[in-house]
Amino acid sequence: CNKKEETIVQPNEPVTATADAAAVDATATTGTHQPEVAVVDGVGVVLPQSTYTGTLPCADCSGVQTDLTLNSDGTFVMKQDYLGKPNGQVTTQGTYDINGVDNQYVLLHPNDHADTPPYLIYMDKDSVQFRDLENGETPTPSHTLLLVNP
């Protein structure tokens, strides 16, 4: 059977979707290699579009104003403004994968940045927190963005 069920998952909610693994593998990408849905352990999962915002710490500026939008099609847009820096605006687009037992970890894979490792974020009910990619630990100070548009 090549049917797949898609379930909208809220942050902090376990996945209840089921799918035929071959069907997910066959339909997970389009000709442009953009996933139709985010993939969790071979199961198609759709997150509702959500936008998070906040100011992240910066070593050589007053902060990085960051707006992150996770789209329901498995893509993301992250707009960052390095405060106090001329030409400090950066927009990063890419795809994301949902990971972890409770679907609380998301890997952001930037497009056109082959040398840039993915970003690891931890999803909570009303925030996302950037984590260390190597060990999943929370950096100090915290790198948290708050949900503004569920």
Whether residue 13 is predicted with pLDDT greater than 90 in this model: the reply is no
Task: Give the closest residue to 62 by CA, choosing from 37, 76, 81.
Answer: 81
Tokens of 9: 């998952």
Check residue 64 and give its pLDDT: 95
Query: Which of 25-29, 50-54, 73-77, 100-104 is predicted least confidently?
Result: 25-29
For 92-126, what is each residue's pLDDT tens digit? 999 999 877 677 889 999 998 677 788 899 988 89
The arithmetic mean of pLDDT across residues 118-137, rounded, is 85
Q: Are 88 and 81 in contact (CB under 8 A)?
A: yes
Domains of the chain in sequence order: 50-149 (2.40.128.640)
How many of the other CB atoms lie within 10 Å of CB of 73? 16
Question: Rg (Cα) of the chain, in Å, rounded?
Answer: 16
Q: Would you mind telling me the total number of residues written for the chain in this entry?
A: 150
